[in-house]
Amino acid sequence: MKAQRQGKILEIVRERRIETQEELATALRIEGYDVTQATVSRDIKELSLIKIPGENHSSYYATPDESVLRRGDDRLRRLVRLSLSDINSSENLIIIKTPPGEAQGMASAIDHTHWQEIIGTVAGDDTILIVIKPKEATPSVVQRFLDLARG
């Protein structure tokens, strides 16, 4: 029963954002598990779930392996929405323009998303150079940035 419940917890936190133990307990009850807050607390500890920052000063549970990916994607999404001024490409290079002083933060967020097509980034004050491999992937990477900018 415990293994099944903990498996369900992992499934729930991977599928949606759970911000509190009570919210997780409610989700488990809906799935047919009769749990207390104390049980949920122990399961969270045993599963090594962590809370990572979300939007609007919120935080939610994630598995340690997922947290790096989610945090990177969320940070990049937020930075692209706020700071992407222009994007252009040629062959295997993408140039992103940002307001002054914001390029290095966005380049760091790009690096931490670990997109397979991105070899690396170089950032100045308001410009990011992104190197793509293979060059055929450049249009799809540009489109991913545009999708992030739209929300």
What is the CATH classification number for the domain harbouring 84?
Answer: 3.30.1360.40
Same domain, 83 and 55: no
Burial classification of residue 67, based on how many CB atoms lie within 10 Å of its CB (0-12 exposed, 13-18 middle, 19 or more buried): middle
- CATH classification of the domain holding 30: 1.10.10.10
Considering the entire predicted model, what is its pTM?
A: 0.56
Q: Three-state SS across 71-119?
A: HHHHHHHHHHHHHCCEEEEECCEEEEECCCCCHHHHHHHHHHHCCCCEE
pLDDT tens-digit profile of 91-150?
999 999 999 988 988 998 898 888 889 999 999 999 999 999 999 999 999 999 999 998
Instruction: Tell me: do 71 and 55 sit in the same domain.
Output: no
Indicate whether 74 and 131 sit together in one domain.
yes
Q: Are residues 45 and 72 in the same domain?
A: no
Q: How many residues does the chain have?
A: 151
Question: Which tokens hold the place of 43?
Answer: 């399961």
Helix (H) or strand (E) holding 122: strand 118-123
37 shares its domain with 94: no
Residue 43 has pLDDT above 70, yes or no: yes
Q: Do 27 and 8 form a contact (C-beta atoms < 8 A)?
A: no
Contact assessment for residue 96 and residue 103, using Cβ atoms and an 8 Å cutoff:
yes
- Nearest in space to 13 (alpha carbons), one of 38, 31, 32, 1: 31
End-to-end Cα spacing for the chain? 40
What is the average pLDDT score of the chain? Answer: 89
**Across 14-18, 72-76, 80-84, 130-134, least confident range:** 72-76
Q: Is residue 87 domain-shared with residue 16, that is, in the same domain?
A: no
Instruction: Return the percentage of the chain with pLDDT > 90, whole number.
Output: 62
Q: Which two tokens stand for residue 92?
A: 């295997």
Query: CA 52: distance to chain centroid?
Result: 10
85 and 144 belong to one structural domain: yes
How many domains does the chain fold into?
2
Range of the structural domain that residue 58 is part of: 2-62
Residues 77 and 136 in one domain: yes
